[in-house]
Amino acid sequence: MSVAPHLLRPTRFVIDLDAVAENLRSVRRLVGAGRRIFAVVKAGGYGFGTLEMAEVFAVHGADALAFADLGDAIWARRQGVSLPILVFPSALPGAASEVIAHGLIPTLTDLDQARAYADAARGPCEAFVKVDAGLQRLGVAAEQAVEVIEAIAGLSPLRLGGVCTHLHAPPGADPAYVNWQFGRFTSVLEGLAGAGVEVPVRLAASSPLVMQHRHTYLSAVDPGSMLYGVPQSFATPPEVPLRPAFRALKARLISVKEVAPRERFAAEAPFPVQHRCGSASSRWGRPTGSGGSTTVASSCRDGRCPSWPRRRWSTRASTSPPSPTPSSATRSW
């Protein structure tokens, strides 16, 4: 006997797939037809669903996807995602054979890793190398990058597919700061060109750069948040309109009852009840894998009781299987 999904999980996260497609088209208009778009689907497609987002991006003209987690990337491949997948640095060199077996493109950050991939590869193996131009996190330091990348490019059977960086561009960043980092990256590219190292993909622009620093586009871009219309990333309004992927969170109440003030441990109550009032529960939160606690709203007609619980809830989507429709998808929590 099959049970309708909405009966099993009566809370639905409604995602606007048209909005995501439109945002991707906006990126395409900005960067032009000749540049590659690596659509970032890290963190479960920023919470909107890895597979749903991957499909929209594939259908509407992304050239590749980028994941931050190797496990997610392998899962997506196994689910049938066929676009090229770039995996940002996230795994140990011992995972090289898995990366290769799933046809993923690793992003390398040092020579030892590169050797592990060269050893594991049984045939040509495309790899990117990441340069740290200012974020001080992952990547070969810009000062050593030409030498290290030259050495990596010479490791058969590796094939240098691209050189990338992730610039530190917080909201309101001084353009001079962004340009300083970008200059460090382009110096590396110039050094590689001078050394005769061919770099097919040159990649530096995530959303803040795509939106506000057009000179950073190079041969490819890797936006994430702007594709989902997530506005927090931008200090000033984006130059192109972005539509939010988030359409609605719809929850059917699973329980409605009356609660009364309690005589014992009243101060410890999850939410204060000063007199008899209604308590309604919808099911989303930690028990359903979305990061918070089950949400309880109390309906208090004269407003004397607070309407939300003390514990906070958050909106991280679960990795439950997708159920897309042509223009929207819903995820059950």
Ligand X SMILES: Cc1ncc(COP(=O)(O)O)c(C=O)c1O
Tell me: does residue 72 bind ligand X (CB under 6 A): no
**CA pair distance 264, 168, nearest whole angstrom:** 53
40 binds ligand X per the rule CB under 6 A: yes
**Cα(242)–Cα(230) distance, rounded to whole angstroms?**
8
When asked if residue 166 is in the footprint of ligand X (CB under 6 A), the reply is: yes
Helical segments of 80-139, H only: 96-101, 111-120
In the complex, minimum distance from the CB of residue 298 to ligand X, in angstroms, rounded to a whole number: 37
**Which two three-digit tokens encode residue 214?**
């057009």
Question: Is 181 a binder of ligand X (CB under 6 A)?
Answer: no
For ligand X, give the closer residue by CB, 212 or 233: 233
Interacting stretch for ligand X, rule CB under 6 A, among 48-56, 193-201, 203-211, 323-331? 203-211
Stretch that binds ligand X, among 22-30, 175-183, 225-233, 263-271 (CB under 6 A): 225-233
Contact flag: residue 224 with ligand X (CB under 6 A):
yes
Sequence-separated contacts (24+) of 100-107 with Cβ below 8 Å: 100/125, 102/73, 102/74, 102/77, 102/78, 103/77, 104/70, 104/73, 104/74, 104/77, 105/64, 105/161, 107/164
Residue 206 binds ligand X (CB under 6 A): yes
∠276-282-284 over CA atoms, to 5°?
A: 135
- Selected from 88, 128, 234, 246, the binder of ligand X by CB under 6 A is 88
Q: Binding to ligand X by residue 223, rule CB under 6 A?
A: yes
Work out how close the CB of 173 gets to ligand X at its nearest, in angstroms, rounded to a whole number: 12
Quick check: 149 and 141 in contact, CB under 8 A? no
Q: Taking contact as CB under 6 A, which single stretch among the options 216-224, 262-270, 298-306, 317-325 is the one that binds ligand X?
A: 216-224
Residue carrying the six token digits 């991957």:
54
Q: Cα(279)–Cα(221) distance, rounded to whole angstroms?
A: 49
Residue 26 binds ligand X (CB under 6 A): no
DSSP helix, strand, coil percent of the chain (3-state; round to 5): 35, 25, 40
Among 225, 282, 295, 298, binds ligand X (CB under 6 A): 225
Least distance (Å) between residue 178 CB and ligand X: 13
Rounded to a whole number of angstroms, the minimum distance from the CB of residue 135 to ligand X is 9
Fill in the DSSP letter of residue 324.
Answer: B
Tell me if 134 contacts ligand X by CB under 6 A. Answer: no
Decide if residue 65 touches ligand X (CB under 6 A). no
Give the largest Cα separation in the chain, rounded: 80
Smallest distance from ligand X to CB 286, Å: 25
Omega prior to 157 cis, within 30 of 0 = yes
- Chain residues that interact with ligand X, rule: CB under 6 A: 40, 42, 68, 88, 166, 206-208, 222-226, 233
